[in-house]
Structure 1
């Protein structure tokens, strides 16, 4: 009985120490966030990263300048995240389209590019990726769409023709994949309470407050820089800003540095730096 009592006490003390350690780590994490406005760590891997095939790496180097500019160590993180993301989601074709591995790679790489500065990247508010060959009739709005996020199905929907067109031209600030993923990330951040979600949500609110300033809004409209669709509503404004941030960061930074630095803070990386 004495031995059992000692074991019980040791297990109790061990469990208590684990709880105290976990709470301390969380507290320090939020303290770091308060001081530096970013997570204490992002790309830590608990196990050996999974690597893509040489053909997949070649595809990323050719189609994703973001990936190409990463140092080798970061590329391994990017690849590991892509593999994990694809394994976590269901991909379905509609109207006769057949899902290929290249399609999965395109979609996953877009998601990982946008969440690369975040610790949690799998976006649990997304379960299904639906791909149509062209514009489709939305079951939600009963209108024709190029893409949308359906929160009830936890589904991201794309016209593949328009998704690819977004990458065919790299500097027109129009990218369907980036645009729709930002809508998803925004909703995901509202629903989740991790460090990256807090940063994304708080910074996006700061961006909207900037937009609400009459002088700033007037300057935005006079500059005629952002396409008109950006001013549809605050949700669209945020998504359009990220398209500009990704596709023409240098010009964006020169014209509207306040918005540029807020997007950089929100995504937690400097796109120009990569």
Structure 2
């Protein structure tokens, strides 16, 4: 009985992806002006955003809105709220923040699952262990899937050097040249490829011998190495530069940002704002008299 239900869910997902409108619109009425309570949520939950100066915060917010207008976010057996949308969009914006007007050309839709899932997109099997996946082939070519709890956990813990949202969008960044292979040809010049591959090889040896603090999953292959190292780069840039200076220099060039000189990774930025504190929106009012009332 359970098997029949799972097969039915899988068939329904495939039919949905096959027969939905070909021109994807997000299906979400994104606001024209960035809401103050969204700004507060990002300040409290997204360390990268909290580290930006006011001008760059405005740019980040514009990038969020553009993403939400273009990419559909759909819950599969789970509801999708604005906090989910903001974390998906933040995951998309962070790796490409240095590239104005960047669009993930192969992405039409993000699916949110209620739990971890398997390679067959099943989230009820006991063997489920996947928290994020870039779809490939056929109807899944334009889709990314996240476990919703795992997506939130990536931002809740900003010091563990792991963020599944950033991980999967780095795969999409890598895919911009047509292939997920750990070599972002759109950005990386040909003469830099061989040194990069050598650096991956040497770093992987260190990981497999237990001499590295990079997540061992990055030793799976080149594409996973890029995604895993990028999680570390964006979450703990100062530590990454200290422990892996060569890798830091390469990723800094790839993503065109020197995060180690910023406040990214300073977890005091993500903070609980008291009722009587100045409102972070800059209105000059106390938080309780301003954005707190919008929560």
TM-score normalized by structure 1? 0.72
The reply to whether residue 208 of structure 1 matches residue 197 of structure 2 is yes
Question: Which residue is equivalent to 1:258?
Answer: 246
- For structure 1, which runs of at least 5 residues remain unmatched after alignment? 1-49
If you compute each CA radius of gyration, which structure gives the higher value, 1 or 2?
1
The reply to whether residue 105 of structure 1 matches residue 93 of structure 2 is no
Give a deviation string over 1:165-212, Cα, whole Å, max 9, x none. 111211111211111111111112346xxxx96215756764323223
Equivalents in 2 of 1:74, 1:197: separation in Å?
27
Contact 1:204 / 1:266 at 8 angstroms: preserved in 2?
A: no
Question: Which residue is equivalent to 1:131?
Answer: 112
Is the helix fraction higher in 1 or 2? 1
The 1:114/1:132 distance shift into structure 2, 3 A limit, reads same
Question: Which residue is equivalent to 1:122?
Answer: 103
Give a deviation string over 1:110-158, Cα, whole Å, max 9, x none. 1111110123422011101000010123337997322100033210100
Q: Quote the offset at 1:217 in angstroms.
A: 4.8
Question: Which residue is equivalent to 2:228?
Answer: 240
Q: Relative contact order (alpha carbons < 8 A, sep ≥ 6): 1 or 2 greater?
A: 2
Equivalents in 1 of 2:195, 2:212: separation in Å?
22
TM-score normalized by structure 2? 0.67
Equivalents in 2 of 1:159, 1:77: separation in Å?
28
- For structure 2, which runs of at least 5 residues remain unmatched after alignment? 1-31, 263-295
Report the count of equivalent residues.
218
The reply to whether residue 71 of structure 1 matches residue 59 of structure 2 is no
Query: How do 1:9-28 residues align onto structure 2 when only pairs under 5 Å count?
Result: none
Single out whichever of 246-255 and 135-144 deviates more from structure 2.
Answer: 135-144
Question: Which residue is equivalent to 2:37?
Answer: 55
What's the RMSD between the two structures over aligned residues? 2.4
User: For 1:136, what is the secondary structure of its paired residue?
Assistant: coil
